[in-house]
Structure formats: structure tokens, C-alpha cells
């Protein structure tokens, strides 16, 4: 399976979003990571469906929508209409996780399941063959530009082991604090979808992206 780079648009210059999105596309980026925050599940507010809908008009990229919101099942149709391709929900944010997963599927979208750094990896095991992607958070969600938490490595190892046995097509995403120094380590640990916000958008975007592609292969 090819590794995927999913730049987090939380760190894009929103005054120049179209120009910068074009730079991503021309550099060969296929996924956009879109961080939705509700000020309740996480202590920050970002953007929602109207902004995603606007970005949808300027790119054909696959929209990897990371929902850091409580009870995301209330907004599945809104994100579908906005142009999401996969909705990743948090284990910690859903009262009825199975119902939420099946509602996302019924809407015709792919589904991802995320856990925070302090959540035990074992809660994911029953879902390895029920979702398209597992997201291991390597920072406390809420803000870009934080430091990578090494606890993510053992979590990725476990998910990779389960995926080999149960669901070899599973996408394994890691999000938070990924940079040129630690990206090889998370790939070795089992990640195949790499989110990077500040490391993509600080400095020259095209150069940063091509540096990531060199490591991702």
C-alpha cells in the first residue's frame, strides 16, 4: 500500500487559501486533512461545513475530515454535502459508536476512528475490520504546532499488528507533531497516512511536500 501525505489545512494561510491549495495540488498532494473543532470536545474552534464546501470548489483532492466534535452523528449529512470523502470520528466523542459508524456508511462515506493519546489502544480492536481508517493522535487534539508524543509509537505498533491479521487494507493515520525528524519512525511503526500541518506550511510549501514525499516513497 502506498503511503499517503495528508497536509492539515489548520496551518494554511487562510488569506491565500486558493493559491496555497494550488501549490499542494501541483506538488502532487492527493489528500487534504481538514480539522473540525467545536470548542467543546476540544478547547478550540476551527471551521465547519461552509468552509469545507468553499475549499471543495478549488481542488479535487480527497477530503480527510477529522471531526473533533461531540456527537458527530448530528452533522454527517452536512459534511457529506460539503464534500467530505472520509469522516473520522473520535472514540471519546460518541455515545453510540456503532450507530455513528453505520450512519456514516449509510451516507456513502468512508469512516475513520480516532483515539486521543490517553485512550487505551485496546478499545480499537473490535473496530479494526469495521472502519476504513484508524487515526492515532500523537498530540492532545485542539491545536497545530504541538510536540509529538512518543506514546503514539506503541499504539501504531499494536494497530499495525491487528491490521495484518484482521484487515490488511486498513489505513493507519498519525496526526500531531509530525516533522522531518520523526516521520520515518512513525512509518516504521505502521502508519501509512501521515498528517502534517506546521511542517507542510511553515516555509516553502512545495519544498516541504517534496521532502515528505521523498521519505514516504
Is 132 a residue of the active site?
no
Q: Which of 10, 31, 24 is nearest to 206 (CA)?
A: 24
Q: Tell me which of 3, 119, 146, 157 binds ligand DX5, using CB under 6 A.
A: 146
Stretch that binds ligand DX5, among 76-84, 99-107, 134-142, 183-191 (CB under 6 A): 134-142
Distances (CA, A) of 78 to 38, 55, 96, 124: 15, 15, 19, 26
b/e burial code for range 21-45 (CB count within 10 A of at least 16 → b): bebbeebebebbbbbbbbeebbeee
145 binds ligand DX5 per the rule CB under 6 A: yes
Residue number, 145 or 150, with CB nearest to ligand DX5: 145
Whole-angstrom Cα distance, residue 116 to residue 122?
Answer: 13
Is 175 a residue of the active site?
yes
Which of 25, 64, 175, 188 is catalytic? The answer is 175
Half-sphere exposure (CA, 13 Å, Cβ side) for 138?
28
CA 15 centroid distance within chain: 23
Residue number, 164 or 214, with CB nearest to ligand DX5: 214
First CA to last CA distance, the chain = 11
Q: How far is the CB of 83 from ligand DX5 (least distance, A)?
A: 18
Stretch that binds ligand DX5, among 81-89, 118-126, 183-191, 194-202 (CB under 6 A): 194-202
144 binds ligand DX5 per the rule CB under 6 A: yes
Interaction site with ligand DX5 (CB under 6 A): 8, 10-11, 33, 35, 66, 139, 141-146, 175-178, 195-199
Task: Cite the active site residues.
Answer: 35, 175
Amino acid at each position: 500500500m502506498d503511503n499517503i501525505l495528508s497536509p492539515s489545512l489548520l496551518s494554511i494561510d487562510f488569506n491565500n487559501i486558493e493559491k496555497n491549495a494550488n501549490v499542494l495540488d501541483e506538488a502532487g498532494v492527493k489528500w487534504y486533512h481538514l480539522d473540525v473543532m467545536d470548542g467543546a470536545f476540544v478547547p478550540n474552534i476551527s471551521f465547519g461545513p461552509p468552509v469545507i464546501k468553499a475549499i471543495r470548489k478549488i481542488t479535487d483532492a480527497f477530503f480527510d475530515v477529522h471531526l473533533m466534535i461531540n456527537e458527530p452523528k448530528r452533522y454527517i449529512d452536512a459534511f457529506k454535502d460539503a464534500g467530505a470523502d472520509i469522516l473520522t470520528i473520535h472514540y471519546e466523542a460518541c455515545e453510540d459508536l456503532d450507530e455513528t459508524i453505520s450512519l456514516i456508511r449509510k451516507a456513502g462515506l468512508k469512516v475513520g476512528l480516532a483515539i486521543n493519546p490517553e485512550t487505551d489502544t485496546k478499545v480499537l480492536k473490535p473496530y479494526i475490520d469495521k472502519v476504513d481508517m484508524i487515526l492515532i493522535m500523537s498530540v492532545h487534539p485542539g491545536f497545530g504546532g504541538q510536540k509529538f508524543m512518543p506514546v503514539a509509537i506503541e499504539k501504531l505498533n499494536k494497530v499495525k499488528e491487528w491490521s495484518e491479521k484482521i484487515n490488511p487494507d486498513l489505513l493507519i493515520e498519525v496526526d500531531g507533531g509530525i516533522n522531518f525528524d520523526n516521520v520515518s519512525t512513525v512509518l516504521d511503526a505502521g502508519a501509512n497516512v501521515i498528517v502534517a500541518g506546521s511542517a507542510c506550511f511553515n516555509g516553502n510549501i512545495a519544498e516541504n511536500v517534496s521532502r515528505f514525499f521523498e521519505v514516504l516513497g
